[in-house]
Amino acid sequence: MAARTPAPRGAELAVLERRLRKAGFAPVAGADEAGRGACAGPLVVGACILPAGRRGTIDELADSKLLTPAARDRVYDRVVARAESWSVVVIPAAEVDRIGLHVANLAGMRRALARLDPAPAYALTDGFPVRGIGVPGLGVWKGDRVAACVAAASVLAKVTRDRIMVELHDRFPSYGFAVHKGYVTPGHAAALDAYGPCEEHRRSYVNVRRALRDDEGMREVSA
């Protein structure tokens, strides 16, 4: 069995940005989201421009999913301290339901990139291209493992969203949001079965709709 190639980190992630700068595109921004697969809580999109050179090389920087919570917090602080510009957009669960997940994701990336100052000359987005951002752009498959600015955006989005979910746990302690962050786990599924969805659950998701129907059915039976 072939050994896995470790995902690039730190300076290794900056190769794509360096090539774009040499081609005349500077600054280069990255955008990524957190919470796409969760059935509760907001969708959060981060955008980031890292400086060129050594200052833009962030220790431990990697795809946020590859980092421990403690490492993500450290990298978050370093990105915020060193970035030329960064932004985070929070899209509530109700808005995700209203306009749809993919549309919400695209809108969030446009909004996050538009808030950057200085404005980027080129944008790298994780997974798919985003139209209507006013500058050339490229959707990069697994961009958070390929480009430093996208990895930084992924950390900004993930840490922001995790902190929001911990706050939501205080409001809705029965669901365990502080543990699973709104993603589907056996414990989360059991809480949905027991209590039905709360206002932070996404009604457009199949498992939440099913729990909502079951909850309404139980209330009708007990009435």
Q: Which tens digits make up the pLDDT trace of 15-28?
A: 899 999 999 999 99
Asked whether the predicted pLDDT for residue 11 surpasses 60, the reply is no
- pTM for the whole thing? 0.90
Q: Mean pLDDT of all residues in the chain?
A: 91
pLDDT for 13: 80
pLDDT for 214: 65
The upper half-sphere exposure of residue 129, i.e. CA atoms within 13 Å in the direction of its Cβ, equals 8
Kindly list the distances between the CA atom of residue 9 and the CA atoms of 14, 47, 84, 208, 214, in Å, as whole numbers in the listed order.
9, 18, 20, 37, 46
Q: Pick 10-170's CATH classification: 3.40.50.720, 3.40.50.12160, 3.40.800.10, 3.30.420.10.
A: 3.30.420.10
Q: How is residue 139 written in tokens?
A: 């959707």
pLDDT band of 2, cuts 50, 70, 90: very low
For the chain, which residues make up each domain, given as ranges? 10-170, 171-222
pLDDT band of 219, cuts 50, 70, 90: very low
pLDDT tens digits, 58-111: 999 999 999 999 999 999 999 999 999 999 999 999 999 999 999 999 999 999
Q: Which range (8-22, 43-57, 196-210) has the least confidence?
A: 8-22
